[in-house]
Amino acid sequence: MKKTLALLVCGLLWANILKAQQTQYMVFEFIKVEKDQLFDYIEFKDLMEKVYRQALNDKIINGWDIWRLQNGADQGNFQYIMVTYFNDPVKMMNGLEDETMIEYTKIAYPHLSEAQVRTLFQQALSVKDSPMRLYMRQLAETNDDFQFKPGVLASFDLMKAVEGKFSAYEKAEIEVFKPIHQSRINQGMMGHWSFLRAALPQGSEAGSTHLTVNLYKDYMQFFNAQAYEDLNQTAEQRAAVNAGLNSRDQKWIYLATLENVVR
């Protein structure tokens, strides 16, 4: 009996460890680039792709993307969104230190001297400004085999849970909206969906508390998804959807195209 109990406890502990390791953390950087520096930003993206690929090889990150914004409430302020993926909240908060990135830059450009590498790195960083950064923890995602590659579309929806309905909102996203998105994916009308919560404590004045990421392989799939209406929903299901919608405020929606990706 004691042996069985010990095995059960060990199994639960191991399951919790695996779950913690599988939890994904993401940093979203909303990037502003001046019009006269847009050409320089192309070089910055290429440099960062090489740097973050080295970081992926060293298992410091899980992945990295750069998305070009198509629209959004602050389109004049932001032109790109850079997303870095981690499997650990500490790694997420520490990020990549400048010296580490410089070492990776040396690997990416072995023909350059150290002085040239440092100059290149500093010039690259001076191109962008990141006035908004979000640290997020993934709570749920759909079951799919979506392939991240340049050209795919994303809708980044910033949400704010209504005061007093934080738990109700998260429950609605996971229990009501996730199955709806999974159904669309199963029908080929969507690529992927994930639901994220701010990983850092925020006060009542925070602009957003959650984020949903909706991915599509192309514009055809995107517009088909917008036109889709589930006529088979029961009255109970419609009531659950409406209750979920009333538990949050959809602050901003950013439509973006993937330009650079490291996986």
pLDDT tens-digit series, residues 6-37: 444 444 444 444 444 479 999 999 998 888 88
Q: Name the pLDDT band for 150 (thresholds 50, 70, 90).
A: very high
124 in the same domain as 30: yes
256 in the same domain as 166: yes
Q: Is 31 exposed, middle or buried (0-12, 13-18, 19+ CB in 10 A)?
A: buried
**CA neighbor of 258 nearest in space, from 119, 142, 152, 100:** 152
Note down the domain range covering 86.
Answer: 25-131
- Compute the mean pLDDT over every residue in the chain, rounded to the nearest whole number: 86
161 in the same domain as 226: yes
Percent of the chain predicted with pLDDT > 90: 60
More confident residue, 77 or 85: 85
**pLDDT of residue 170 exceeding 70:** yes
Residue whose pair of structure tokens reads 């909206």 in the numeric block: 177
**pLDDT of residue 3 exceeding 70:** no
Is residue 75, in this structure, part of any structural domain at all? yes
Q: Rounded CA gap, 213 and 251, in Å?
A: 14
Q: Rounded CA gap, 122 and 175, in Å?
A: 46
Last residue of a domain, one of 114, 131, 148: 131
Q: Is 24 helix (H, G, I), strand (E, B) or coil?
A: coil
Phi-psi region of 95 (alpha: psi -120 to 50; beta: other; left: phi over 0): left
191 in the same domain as 77: no
* Total number of domains in the chain: 2
Please give the average per-residue pLDDT across 38-56, as a whole number: 90
Residue whose pair of structure tokens reads 């994916």 in the numeric block: 185
CATH number at residue 63: 3.30.70.100
